[in-house]
Structure 1
Amino acid sequence: MKVSIFDVAKKSGLSVVTVSRVLNGVQSVRENNRKKVLDTIKELDYRPNAAARSLARGKTGIIGLIMTTLQDSFFDAVVKELNDVLALHGYFLAVSVSTSISSDGDHYLIQEDRVDGLILLSPVEEDSYILELKRRNIPYVLIDNQKPENDAFSVTIDNFKGGYEATNHLLDLGHTSIAHLCGSEMFRSTRERRNGFLQALQEKALTPFEMVHGDFEIEFGYETCRKWIHDGNLPTAVFAGDDNIALGVINALMEAQIPVPEQVSIVGYDDQYIASQLRPYLTTVRQPADQIGLAAADMLLKRIDGSMKRASSIKIDPKLIVRESTVESKRF
């Protein structure tokens, strides 16, 4: 039998009115009651009737999400959290994979009668999107945007802190010959992670073994490391711009029978699914996808219901996850 709003009210011990207010994002509901309702909804697997609620509110009941790729397990985790949170509020998530917007500002999700709001996940041409969204008066939130001047409604990660802590971890292990393989320069995260890396070295009066610019791809890490091996000149440690780059470095080293981490320690970034599946398990910097998705959904829902009047931005701290790919330096 299908679970109803009355079942949720009975199970939670609260009124139907309170349950309804939680589902509609009313901010005046007490936090402990809100948590009771959301926990009960999950327990009973209650699915609000989005169509009926949308008609009542004069809304579409759809939130749009534009992202640049599906080949990223970190993005997958963010999207899953967004979908779960928005579903609890009776919204469907419509996903589009797109790297740009047309010259006339047209995109099938950016229409007033198609979505109630829109989320841009790591956008590349964010200025064009924002201009069009403002013109059409569509509430939006950015996740991992590229320009600080667009932080008005955004959820970002403190990538400087992530790069700094990753490098300090290697320094604490006694490494002084540390390379950094950067991702694409178009991404703000690339620049911030590199700045954190350089700051940590500067505090120890050290310079990088080498900084190499490329893409967030396995091939980039592999080819760069192959060159080091060919030249007979390896760093004792590598801070890779993401887990894919780190995996490429590990592949090249293992192919040449150079042990990881005994001869070269490696730190990645993102804590993608593969980081904890392949040996050696990868030391990396985790971006908390659940916190990011929840914060972005909450911000957008507040923009939609009008309770967020002023611009707001949220910066979330990453977390260093120490596994098997880093050890103390043996080179003195």
Structure 2
Amino acid sequence: MARIMALGEIMLRLSPKGHRRFVQAGEFDVVYGGGEANVAVGLSNFGMDAGFVSKIPQHEIGQAAVNELRKNGVDTSRIIRGGARLGIYFLETGAAQRPSKVVYDRANSAFALAEPQEFDWDAVFDGCEWFHFSGITPALGKNAAQICKDACAAAKKKDITVSCDLNYRKNLWTLEEAGEMMKSLMPYVDVLIANQEQVKSLFGMEAASAEIKEPNVDYSGCQSLCVQLRKTWPQLDKIVLSLRGSVSGDDNYFGAAYDDGTGFVHSRNHLIHMVDRVGSGDAFSAGIIYAIMNGYPAQEAIEFAVASGVLKHSIEGDGSMESVEEVKALAGGDGSGKVQR
């Protein structure tokens, strides 16, 4: 079975072509994706043995989502088939000073209504070394929250490394609901992936804010949060905090900090011109998981993770389609974008 297993919901994404607004759309581009599914796709494209567990309808739209995962080499053998509908989200891609916009239509999806007893975690985690989930999954309802808790408990019993991307989505639940639930899941987590504002908002921790508006930024606030997180949850092995600075709807700065338990480092900061921002955080998560599992030193690990997230901004769709060699090239400083012949 897969060495890495991710739990979550995969959805149908519908987007107006180009930079059209929803009210201008006469047709939509079709993509399949979702936070944890995107991580599994990214890891599989890095050559890792990654699987995805969820509940997906048996009908043709559900099969199309499964086919998309299989096309990218993701193990789908532990996906439960059933339920009436696949979740949908609509994406309007921003430009210049207009931000991107997401509208969800995912209530009562097959995964949101799945029953906890449908999942055989002993079978799911057979041969598994790493389990990944995000804060999106428990936000989908009581059943999904219980499924997530059951998965975390089963993973810890098998001594499987657990990573969590806080991934707060204000359209799914309130800060208070998210904070309460994620605090209950944190004792299971070995590798925390988040951003500074999520940690401060969900866990009530104080630190000076850092926003990237130029190549150099003060990462002391991130370092302070790492200290507070370790004090609250001493079992944390590694903490990864991303930083993003928005210049416009087309251009962002992106960087990250990393506390691997032996010291604190941060990446260089990249100025990005975006093609598609969705899934960049998931590519970042895939990058840090890959780097940790392959024994990268701290500085190399965070540079690789950030480069993975940066490159995803250049790729249309939810999933990350970059190779290890491409990420290493950017992490090593080759961001020229020159044609390769």
Whether TM exceeds 0.5 here: the answer is: no
- Greater helix proportion: 1
TM-score (structure 2 length as normaliser): 0.30
What TM-score comes out, normalization by structure 1 length?
Answer: 0.30
Structure ranking higher in strand proportion = 2
